[in-house]
A and B are shown apart, each in its own frame.
Chain A
Amino acid sequence: MPMDLAPMVFYYRKDLFEQHGISLPRTWDEFSTAAAAVKQVDPQARICSFPLNDGSFFAGMSWQAGDPWWTAQGDTWAVDIAGEGTLRTASFWQSMISGNQVAGVVYGSQDWIAGIHDAKLWGVLGASWSVGTLNRSIPKDTGRWAVATMPTWDGKPANGIQGGTAFGVSAESKAPEAAMTFLRWLSTNPEVPKIGSAFSTPFPAHLPNRAVARQAYKGGFFLGDPVYDVLDEAAKRVPEWTWGPNALRLFSTISDSFGPVRGGGTTLPDAVRKVQQHAMADMRARGLSVREGKAA
């Protein structure tokens, strides 16, 4: 039973961008230029942070690049974590990290909050739920931030997703029908998104509920386009993707493998290749039928 999804968007300090004549980046090339411009204005400031410890963030970035990490093909998983799109994403962020163009602080940590509070982070690559984080962390920043869809690789609309909610009922459940009744209520009852709208921007999968959430969100924090317009547009741009059976394990493999990138012990593309090997070995050890590379 699907409940919600969390399209990724770029939150940025519209006031500072405009004040210093930096235009909103629409491609990753422009993003890199804008990052350099931010650093030039304030050597302590960065355009955003790239959290090396968060596998779901990197998955969301790679999702946009259009090479799904898993594809079910007949009775076999095609595993393609080191595919072309993912490696392009990794190389881009490696160059940003090597050039000291992005911060390395962990999303939601005290350093991160201090960063957005003190205008040392001018942007946040986050998801729909980041609205709640921003509202709670920097309530006085009302009227400074704006929301935009993610920059793209080649101008062709594409967007990633970071997180989402779906429920399943265990085959061993003694009351599967009761469980489904509850889950249907949770996912479709219009009162449910109103609860979340009090402090964030819930983005239900059930479209009538999304309309309820849009209406219930009081807004006022962001400049520019209404946040639900941007989220709707971002959700439309999301390409095909399948989560494999070892997704959560893979997130921790990613943070383990990306760790040494900070000290220069490895590079993101090399780490991504290692993650692919780990994922293959892990899935084989669990008896799954796996094949390396893109879906045929």
Chain B
Amino acid sequence: MITRENYELFYMDYLEGDLAPDLVKELEAFLVLHPDLKVEDDFLAPIQGEEIIYDKKDDLKFEALPAFEAMKKEDQIIAYHEGILTPAQEKEVLAWVKANSAQDKKEFEDYKKVYLTAPVLNYGNKKQLKRRGTIVMWPMLTAAAASVALLFFFNVDQSEGPTHAFYQPKTIDVNLPETTLTQEDEELPILSISTDNPLVADATDLKTLTKGKTKKEPKGTTQANPSGTSTDTITKVTTQIPIKNTTIPFEERNITPRTEISIPKETDLNPSRNVVANKGMQETKMEDILPPLMNYAVQKVSQKASISAVELKKEENKSLFKGKFNIKIGRLELSKK
């Protein structure tokens, strides 16, 4: 039985046309008795889809323009102004325009006017757009730095003892007799001497002091020794002096002068394997003899610039400042003849 509580189930089937005929009659009788439950007719009307038309279909279509003969006259005029016709076709268009009405002539003239003229519009930031060619300077700079480092490094007597000694502070007792300092000793330029002791006047004094010759009396505190040994009386002051170049007596020399240093290209750049090969000498580890800056420079040159080798040749038994030398780092070459 259809009641107010369950009528919706029957009503839905009724609207869909799925309700059994006997129930249809019962529902219709029910709706007559309860008109407030009846759905409005316009509510039941099917929704009409709004007609939306895309009006640019022609733009989407692609039709290649036909050959000249099959073209519309309008297209022939455009083609004429586009300059894509042969001379014969151009003549044909002109003849047609001439032979036809004023309206056609006007159309021909109108199409002549739809061509743009390029305005003068200069771009003002051209400089910002331009680029410079990159010149890679650092390999050359690094090579130069390494060369300078090498130059200073080898500016010592090659016969001296432990090579790292010249950048270790060295303690000398200036009061020692100079019995070991003879004229046989090689004189080398003193690159740097520093001292905190005010009693040591200057580098020149120290230089002469080490030579065992006639010495300039520093501050009048020394006197000549007739035996040729040091008569230095500079009093009993032990001075800490870092000396890079000094004279080492021959007696103390037990190392054959270094004649050539060559680091082949394939040398492993691992510092522990960098070896200075001295002819007829024991091998010395690179890091033992190179100052850190130079070691770094040599590594950089070889590693980054793919430079084949660092090569140094010098005259035997001569320091760089005295003898001939030739330093090659890649294409960079320093030499003294």
Pairing of A with B? no
| Chain A residues close to B by CB (< 8 Å) | none
